[in-house]
Amino acid sequence: MDLSVLDIPFLIQQDQIDYYSQHSFIKIKDVLTPEVLQHFNEVISKKVIELNKVDTPLEDRDTYGKAFLQLFNLWTHDEEIKKLIFSKRLAKLAADLMQVDGVRMYHDQALFKEAGGGITPWHADQFYWPLSSDKAITVWIPLQKTPLKMGPLEFSAGSEKITFGRELSISDESEQAINKNLKINDLPHIIEAFDIGEVSFHSGWVFHRAGANVTKTTRKVMTVIYIDKDMTLKQPENDNQVNDWHTWCPGVKIGEVINSELNPVLFANE
């Protein structure tokens, strides 16, 4: 399998950087080839099956549990998956969009929305992260073509300016309260399918959700969360941030650059 595309820079345009600056998310087509995605679909699916410990029937789970199977830091479990997670092509895109000199790993997540899986409620990721600035971004990589019926990621364009709802974890409450507030603010709600090879990037504070998967096929997605290479750890503001500190930034002290063995620099401008 030729994986050289993973380290070939993607020629992003200034208008795409401007779009991200305005809306705090962007979808970009043809970032990865169908062949590469099929390869990682197979490799990641195998690893998810191996590592998954959820055996509760879908109908008996809470809203969060119905949203997806979630497995973290697969790069530490599989050298082949690490090639995707450490892709300089993706990391440079993250740095270019955030307009920073480089990015390091925060962590990765496989998000597999099973056939019949429920919605992913409205939320902002950075509620969970003890990060000192908003220079954090997630690449959302569908491992297959993702039509609306499969539950692709949806965005509230420009909602990073809204502070209401930032204190809410992913839940029925966040779905209802944030949805109501976003409608009041009349922000564009972007709901679009993803073509094969298309990925999205979104900031830590932009509100997003996903619909239910009403197909008979699992929606398979791999994500990588990047942070500014100079990001420092802030005093955690909730128990989730305390957990993230000790799980994804081991040994880092408050006020220090997040530079543990789990947070390598993935791209830096020379």
pLDDT of residue 209: 98
Q: Does domain 4-247 have CATH number 2.60.120.620?
A: yes
Element (H, E) at 181: helix 172-185
Q: What are phi and psi of 88, to 5 degrees?
A: -70, -30
CA distance 158 to 22: 6
**Using one digit for the tens of pLDDT, what is the confidence trace for 6-23?**
999 999 999 999 999 999
pLDDT of residue 76: 98
**Using one digit for the tens of pLDDT, what is the confidence trace for 240-262?**
999 999 999 999 999 999 999 99
pLDDT of residue 189: 97
Supply the mean pLDDT for the chain: 97
**Using one digit for the tens of pLDDT, what is the confidence trace for 132-176?**
999 999 999 999 999 999 999 999 999 999 999 999 999 999 999
Cβ atoms of residues 158 and 188 within 8 Å: yes
- Measured at the alpha carbon of residue 14, what is the angle toward residues 35 and 105, in degrees to the nearest 5? 55
**What is the DSSP code string of the chain?**
---GGGGSPP---HHHHHHHHHHSEEEESSSS-HHHHHHHHHHHHHHHHHH----S-GGGS-HHHHH-EEEE-GGGT-HHHHHHHT-HHHHHHHHHHHT-SEEEEEEEEEEEE-TT---EEEE-GGGG--BSSS-EEEEEEESS-B-GGG--EEEETTGGG--TTTTPPSSHHHHHHHHHHHHHHT--EEE--B-TT-EEEEETTS-EEE----SSS-EEEEEEEEEETT-BBPPP-SHHHHHHHHHHSTTPPTTSB--STT--EEEE--
Instruction: Answer yes or no: pTM beyond 0.85.
Output: yes
Kindly tell me the sign of the dihedral angle through the C-alpha atoms of 7, 74, 129, 171: positive
Asked if pLDDT for residue 270 goes beyond 90, the answer is no
Roughly what angle, to the nearest 10 degrees, separates helices 14-23 and 88-98? Answer: 60
Tokens matching residue 151: 């539950």
Cβ atoms of residues 94 and 204 within 8 Å: no
Asked if pLDDT for residue 37 goes beyond 90, the answer is yes
Q: How many other β-carbons are positioned within 10 Å of the β-carbon of residue 19?
A: 17
**Using one digit for the tens of pLDDT, what is the confidence trace for 86-129?**
999 999 999 999 999 999 999 999 999 999 999 999 999 999 99
Cβ atoms of residues 165 and 124 within 8 Å: yes
pLDDT of residue 123: 98
pLDDT of residue 258: 98
